[in-house]
Each structure stands twice: as structure tokens, then as C-alpha cells.
């Protein structure tokens, strides 16, 4: 097999995995915020319990994803940070 093709395939897969990992991390953060919001807006004890467990699950998922990112030496470049920051300003 062509070495160049193999190398390009491996690099593309790594980039795809990193993008997927970043999106999963962003979703986990959103899930935490949703659970916090739910906790603040409900009064039924069963719904409060659900909100607490939902937040706990989302935090554990975030911890796992951050550990995965660290273990894979995943990095976010400056353009990604700028794009996300500019989206917040709008």
C-alpha cells in the first residue's frame, strides 16, 4: 500500500475524532446547563431528583470526555477559539 495514503488516512481519522470529541464536550457542557436550569425551575421532589441525577451524569460524561481528550493529546487551534468567541459576542 501507498505510505502517503495510509498516513493521510490516519491523520484524517485523528482530526475527525478530535472534532467529534470537541462537539461531544460542548454537548456535555450544554447538558450540565440544562440540568442546572431544570433544578432551579422545578419544585416537585421527583423532578428535583431527576435534575440532580441528570447533572451528575452530564458531569461524569464531561470528565470522561476531557480525560479522553487529554489522553489523545487533543488540541484546539486558535481559529476555533476565535470562531467560538465571536459566536458568543453576537
- pTM of the complete model beyond 0.95: no
d(CA 55, CA 19): 24
Q: What is the tally of structural domains in the chain?
A: 1
- In this predicted structure, the answer to whether residue 80 has a pLDDT above a threshold of 70 is no
pLDDT digits (tens, 9 = 90+) for 4-58: 666 555 555 555 577 788 888 999 999 999 999 999 999 999 999 999 999 999 9
- In this predicted structure, the answer to whether residue 90 has a pLDDT above a threshold of 80 is no
List the end-to-end C-alpha distance of the chain, in Å, as a whole number: 48
Average pLDDT of the residues in 73-79: 72
Average pLDDT of the residues in 59-67: 92
What is the CA 77 to chain-centroid distance, rounded?
Answer: 16
HSE-CB at 59 with a 13 A cutoff on CA atoms is 8
Name the residue range of residue 35's domain.
3-89
- The residues near 69 (Cβ < 8 Å, ≥ 6 apart) are 18, 21, 22, 25
- The residues near 31 (Cβ < 8 Å, ≥ 6 apart) are 54, 57, 58, 61
Amino acid at each position: 500500500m501507498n505510505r502517503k495514503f495510509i498516513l493521510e488516512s490516519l491523520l484524517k481519522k485523528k482530526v475527525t475524532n478530535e472534532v467529534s470529541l470537541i462537539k461531544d464536550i460542548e454537548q456535555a457542557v450544554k447538558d450540565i446547563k440544562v440540568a442546572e436550569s431544570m433544578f432551579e425551575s422545578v419544585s416537585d421532589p421527583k423532578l428535583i431528583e431527576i435534575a440532580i441525577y441528570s447533572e451528575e451524569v452530564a458531569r461524569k460524561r464531561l470528565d470522561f470526555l476531557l480525560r479522553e481528550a487529554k489522553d489523545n493529546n487533543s488540541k484546539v487551534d486558535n481559529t476555533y477559539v476565535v470562531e467560538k468567541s465571536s459566536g458568543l459576542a453576537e
